[in-house]
């Protein structure tokens, strides 16, 4: 029995020694794991980086860098173009809001994500929530600044997608005004606020008046400055009315009825088109004003940029402010 134990010990030692010499044992610690994820992120291997960040906060849930790793996971998915995964991770961080964490950064990135997926309504909602939740003046000012420009840039989409009446330009002015005095100096937004007040004085067309003037075919189009459409509408409707009248004069009731029916459609289209033209005229004038306001702001500015960004399903307007 005494001889058996040394023999067993010898074989166990030999087994582990042989196997240990064949394979290199790698010990993963928190620092190495985080550095691996960070290196992949810096090398723009964003999908791989995201998975290594996930591995980090699952292996080391109590580490001081867990919050940062979770934010970097969402960021990595965002830059990798995996917007659904990015949104899922960023929303989790935003849900547990704290000024001392990464929630505000996550909410800013979420707003960019929603803009990239053509959901400006969600972007404005996230920024509004951030303005309400934060106690940090610089975060509050940045959110107000971003939502102001977002409301101006996406005014038409916001009005068409909302279930309630939204006046984006008026809202933009309100949020710009909410920026602190120090913030207004930082963003140099005072002139833009002053210029924005002039939008109410823009020369606009009244849709109701356009509809009334279109009683005379082409009158509404003429009022909206669409002279070619006015001429075509006048000639077409006049010709059909004249043709219908002559048919009835010649006792050709059936032909007169058919022409009258066709003319009724063109006449209604003349009225509808005139009203629609007035709305389009106002939208165009407002867009021209906002574009001009943006260009005036961009003069001598080196921190803000409005640019087209390529995303998975198309092109989106991207807003960027460098701090």
- If one counts the domains in the chain, the total is 3
| 92 inside domain | no
- Statement to judge: residues 120 and 72 lie in one domain: no
Residue 144 lies in a domain: yes
Q: Is residue 8 part of a domain?
A: no
Burial letters 167-196, b for 16+ CB under 10 A, else e: ebbebbbebbebbeeebbebbebeebeeeb
List the structure tokens of 314: 């198309």
Region at 300 (left for phi over 0; alpha for psi -120 to 50; beta for the rest)? left
Are 179 and 145 in contact by the 8 Å Cβ rule? The answer is: yes
User: Is 259 found in the same domain as 214?
Assistant: yes
Please list the pLDDT of the chain residue by residue as tens digits (323 residues).
444 444 444 444 444 444 544 456 657 788 999 999 999 999 999 999 999 999 999 999 999 999 999 999 999 999 999 999 999 999 999 998 888 889 999 999 999 999 888 888 899 999 999 999 999 999 999 999 999 888 888 877 777 666 555 677 778 888 988 999 888 888 888 777 777 777 767 788 888 998 888 888 888 888 888 889 889 988 988 888 898 888 888 888 888 888 889 888 988 998 999 899 988 888 788 778 777 777 767 665 555 544 434 344 433 444 554 44
Which distant-in-sequence residues (6+ apart) come within 8 Å of 110 by Cβ?
87, 90, 91, 94, 123, 126
Structural domain range at position 166:
97-188+313-323
Assigned token pair, 209: 């008046």
Classify 159 in phi/psi space as left (phi over 0), alpha (psi -120 to 50) or beta. Answer: alpha
> How far is it between the farthest Cα atoms of the chain?
133
């Amino acid at each position: 029995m005494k001889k058996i134990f040394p023999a067993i010990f010898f074989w166990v030692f030999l087994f582990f020694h042989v196997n240990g010499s064949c394979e290199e044992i790698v010990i993963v610690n928190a620092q190495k794991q985080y550095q691996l994820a960070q290196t992949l992120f810096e090398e723009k291997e964003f999908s791989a980086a995201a998975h290594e960040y996930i591995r980090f906060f699952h292996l080391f849930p109590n580490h001081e860098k867990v919050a940062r790793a979770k934010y970097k996971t969402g960021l990595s998915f965002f830059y990798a173009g995996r917007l659904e995964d990015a949104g899922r991770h960023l929303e989790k961080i935003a849900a547990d809001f704290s000024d001392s964490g990464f929630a505000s950064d996550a909410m800013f990135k979420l707003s960019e994500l929603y803009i990239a997926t053509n959901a400006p309504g969600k972007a404005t909602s996230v920024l509004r929530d951030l303005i309400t939740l934060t106690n940090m003046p610089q975060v509050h000012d940045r959110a107000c600044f971003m939502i102001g420009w977002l409301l101006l840039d996406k005014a038409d989409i916001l009005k068409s997608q909302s279930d309630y009446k939204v006046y984006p330009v008026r809202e933009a002015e309100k949020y710009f005004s909410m920026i602190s005095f120090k913030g207004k100096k930082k963003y140099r937004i005072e002139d833009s606020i002053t210029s924005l007040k002039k939008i109410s004085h823009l020369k606009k067309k009244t849709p109701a008046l356009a509809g009334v003037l279109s009683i005379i075919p082409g009158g509404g189009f003429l009022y909206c400055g669409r002279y070619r459409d006015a001429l075509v509408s006048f000639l077409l409707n006049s010709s059909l009315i004249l043709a219908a009248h002559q048919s009835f004069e010649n006792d050709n009731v059936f032909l007169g009825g058919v022409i009258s029916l066709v003319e009724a459609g063109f006449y209604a289209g003349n009225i509808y088109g005139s009203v629609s033209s007035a709305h389009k005229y106002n939208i165009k004038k407002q867009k021209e004003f906002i574009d001009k306001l943006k260009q005036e702001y961009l003069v001598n500015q080196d921190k803000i940029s409005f640019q087209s960004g390529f995303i998975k399903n198309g092109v989106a307007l991207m807003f960027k402010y460098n701090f």
